[in-house]
Amino acid sequence: MKLENGDRRRTDSFLSFCSFQQPKLASIINYLPHDVAIKIASLLQVRDLCALSCCSTFWRELCVSDSIWESLVRKRWPLLTSFDFPSSSSSSSSSSSSTSSSSSANSPNFKKWRKLYLKRHVELGVRARSVEKFVEACSRSESLEVRDYLNAVETLIATRFGFEDVQRFLFNPKVNVLLNLIGVHYCLTCLGIQGDELVESLRASEISDRHVCIKWWKVGRWIYGFRRRDESHSRWVSLAYLATEDDEHVLGVLRRGTIHEVVRVQISAVGHTSTPWSYKTDQL
């Protein structure tokens, strides 16, 4: 991002001030209470936290503290349970080693939570790529059967993706729109994120206007002892429209899949803009 002339002058002035006042700032940091420094660091995003850790030895040691990374883990992955979290102490055969392990776990600079964060970040990137390959393999004709669609959603559920992971890996305008739809579905059904928050995220990712076509076939009804032809329904909708949950019927079809009277559901990514609700009868 380019700085305007006024912003550049203010930035240069601030850097010159910091350079001139560096001994005084270092002195202030030496007397900064530990809990205040922790509070300052805990207000930052991960990228800013890593940048802060490069400023000095004091901030480098403080920015790896578990008291900071624990909140980052819980905030990014709210679906994780206590079984996924690092234990507070490690069991050992001798009481001395157990006491030592417990004391290190209670130390503010214990690094298990940071390792967990980094491990899950890499793991979810790999898992998202596997879901992308799975969808590509199942949708070579630009359409996806609901069975494969729900299998991809189940993978996200099993891995317990967070909203930031969905935004990073699935809300990408360069990937198949079916992956975008899977991310929207997961946010609505598992993370409980909907309405303006979800629509704003889709707009920021420049995918809110992407469209998909959902088609489903129902078993023909029986009338006076005769079975009518199977009914075919289709609907073109945008991702932003689905995010507002204005059409519970379409979302219900995607959530339930082929049950009861619905014999087939197909999601298409053909590049049309929009068509009105259509109803027709077809012989399966």
How many C-beta neighbours within 10 Å does residue 167 have?
16
Predicted TM-score of the model (pTM): 0.72
Residue ranges in the chain modelled with pLDDT below 50: 1-3, 11, 14-15, 17-21, 89-109, 272-284
CA neighbor of 158 nearest in space, from 130, 135, 198:
130
pLDDT score at 157: 94
pLDDT reported for residue 132: 93
- β-bridge pairing 211-218 and 262-268: antiparallel
Query: What is the pLDDT, as a whole number, of residue 107?
Result: 45
Least Cα distance to 272 among 203, 193, 213 occurs for: 213
Other C-beta atoms lying within 10 Å of the C-beta of residue 208:
20
Paired strand residues for 280: 232
DSSP 167: H
Question: What integer pLDDT is reported at residue 35 of this predicted model?
Answer: 85
Across 227-264, b (16+ Cβ under 10 Å) vs e yields eeebbbbbbbbbbbbbbeeeeeebbebbeeebeeebeb
For residue 208, the one-letter residue type is S
Question: How far from 153 is each of 60, 131, 138, 148, CA to CA, in Å?
Answer: 39, 9, 14, 9
Q: How far apart are CA 29 and CA 204, in angstroms?
A: 38
